[in-house]
């Protein structure tokens, strides 16, 4: 299975980056940087949320219903006339559910590293979140995900990626390590801790800065 960062480097990923950039009025390279940092964070947060039976059931319900992947079938329509407010509202709800009280901290650190203000990062993520859910929904259907174990495997596969060649995989593994800087499995706490004074100084911010040349 290709990882989430492999997806961003694919033709579909380029369409998503270009569309999100155009719909939010944000520089395409900066949009790409934001998505490269944010999508693994969102995936890891979903993986953590799905580690409880209730969380797994809720996510599977969303992926088999509203977020079944159909959003990917007409991306030109989605981006063509400007992204519908309903999509952004949906994205806002997804972010609130996945990140909870850590959302602002996550958006702030990603903004600092990508050179964008927190509002621009938030706008990008509102548009990207329903698309990410669509990617998960499509993968869920293709892999016949029907249990919490299947779901965990799907999320883990997308985070880890299966391609063993190229810089993308190395960057992906590196991202995975630095996002969970103290190895406790709580990526969101680590990201927010860098911003909100969680005591893990330098680590994540410095490494992300090095990774993205900021």
User: Encoding tokens for residue 13?
Assistant: 């990923």
> What single string gives the DSSP state of each residue in 2-47?
--HHHHHTSHHHHHHHHHHHHHHT--HHHHHHHHHHHHHHHHHHHH
How far apart CA 53 and CA 78 sit, in angstroms, is: 33
pLDDT at 174 over 60: no
Among residues 55, 59, 76, the alpha carbon closest in space to that of 67 is found at: 59
Which residue in the block uniquely carries the two structure tokens 């998503």?
Answer: 16
In angstroms, rounded to a whole number, what is the distance separating the alpha carbons of residues 133 and 30? Answer: 22
The gap from C-alpha 125 to its chain's centroid, in whole angstroms, comes to 8
Q: For 96-148, how does the pLDDT look when each residue is reduced to its tens digit (9 = 90+)? A: 998 888 888 888 888 888 899 999 999 999 999 999 999 999 999 999 999 98
- What is the rounded distance in angstroms from the CA atom of residue 34 to the CA atom of residue 36? 5
- DSSP run (H or E) holding 95: helix 85-99
- Cβ count near 79 (within 10 Å): 18
Instruction: Copy the structure tokens of residue 20.
Output: 């999100």
Q: What is the pLDDT of residues 29-67, one digit of tens each?
A: 999 999 988 898 888 888 888 888 999 999 999 999 999
Q: Which of 10-14, 157-161, 171-175, 208-212 is predicted most confidently?
A: 10-14
Closest-CA residue to 49 (of 147, 151, 141, 130): 151
**Joined tokens for residue 83:** 């992204």
pTM above 0.85, yes or no: no
Q: Number of helices (H) and strands (E), helices first, in the chain?
A: 12, 0
């Amino acid at each position: 299975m290709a990882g989430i960062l492999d997806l961003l480097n694919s033709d579909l990923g380029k369409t998503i980056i270009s569309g999100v950039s155009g719909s939010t009025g944000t520089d395409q390279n900066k949009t790409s940087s934001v998505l490269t940092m944010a999508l693994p964070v969102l995936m890891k947060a979903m993986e953590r949320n799905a580690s409880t039976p209730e969380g797994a059931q809720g996510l599977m319900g969303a992926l088999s219903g509203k977020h079944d992947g159909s959003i990917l079938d007409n991306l030109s329509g989605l981006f063509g006339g400007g992204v519908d407010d309903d999509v952004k509202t949906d994205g806002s709800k997804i972010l609130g559910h996945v990140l909870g009280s850590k959302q602002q901290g996550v958006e702030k650190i990603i903004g600092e590293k990508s050179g964008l203000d927190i509002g621009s990062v938030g706008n990008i993520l509102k548009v990207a979140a329903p698309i990410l859910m669509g990617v998960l929904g499509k993968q869920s259907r293709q892999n016949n995900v029907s249990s919490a174990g299947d779901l965990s495997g799907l999320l883990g596969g997308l985070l880890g990626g299966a391609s063993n060649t190229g810089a993308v995989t190395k960057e992906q593994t590196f991202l995975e390590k630095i996002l969970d800087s103290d190895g406790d499995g709580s990526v969101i706490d680590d990201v927010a801790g860098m911003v909100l004074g969680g005591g893990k100084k330098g680590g994540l911010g410095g490494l992300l800065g090095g990774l993205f040349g900021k």
